[in-house]
Amino acid sequence: MFQSTQTPGTRIKDYELLIKQLDALSEGEKDEIAILSNASALLNQFLSEVNWVGFYIWKDDELVLGPFQGLPACIRIPYGKGVCGTAVKEHATQRIADVHQFPGHIACDSASQSEIVVPIIVDGNIYGVLDIDSPTTNRFDETDQIHLEKFVNILEKHLK
């Protein structure tokens, strides 16, 4: 599990191992739900101070809840709404230190204080997003963002 007291070098090595595990687990698998399920389980196991890890999949012009680890969540998120919808609209990772300061934040779990959302883009089109919530403010830093984006890059490779 990643701990906030770990040195940056150790965290990076742990992320690299996590990404290799995702790649190995997904190799040769064609079922997207199976791939996303394992990915959410891996992240939930390895990340500390998180209360929700999962995916929303782009369907019929909105995000629809996909595989996740955590409490029940919002089922549908409109384009451009909340942190997830903004990630889709901007095609960019959203790293939010305090979700209560984010205009239009959708509170699926009142315990969530910070959030990171990474868009998943397959063949130039939005596939969905990786969404991770934390019950602590400012949980996600640049190291998390860089490596979660690499994690998503591996997912994109297997979701083609």
- Is 3 part of any domain? no
Question: What total of structural domains would you count in the chain?
Answer: 1
Sheet holding 114-122, edge to edge: 76-78, 62-70, 52-59, 125-134, 114-122, 94-96
- Is 37 part of any domain? yes
- Block means of pLDDT (10 residues each) for the chain, 160 residues, are 57 94 97 98 96 97 97 95 96 96 81 95 97 97 97 96
* CA 85-89-90 angle, 5° bins: 120
The CATH number for 107's domain is 3.30.450.40
- Is 49 part of any domain? yes
Q: What is the pLDDT of residue 38?
A: 97
- Is 87 part of any domain? yes
- Is 31 part of any domain? yes
Q: What is the pLDDT of residue 68?
A: 98
pLDDT in tens, 103-125: 887 877 778 999 999 999 999 99
- Is 1 part of any domain? no
- Is 66 part of any domain? yes
Question: Residues for the chain: how many in total?
Answer: 160
Q: What is the pLDDT of residue 103?
A: 83
* Domain range for 75: 8-158
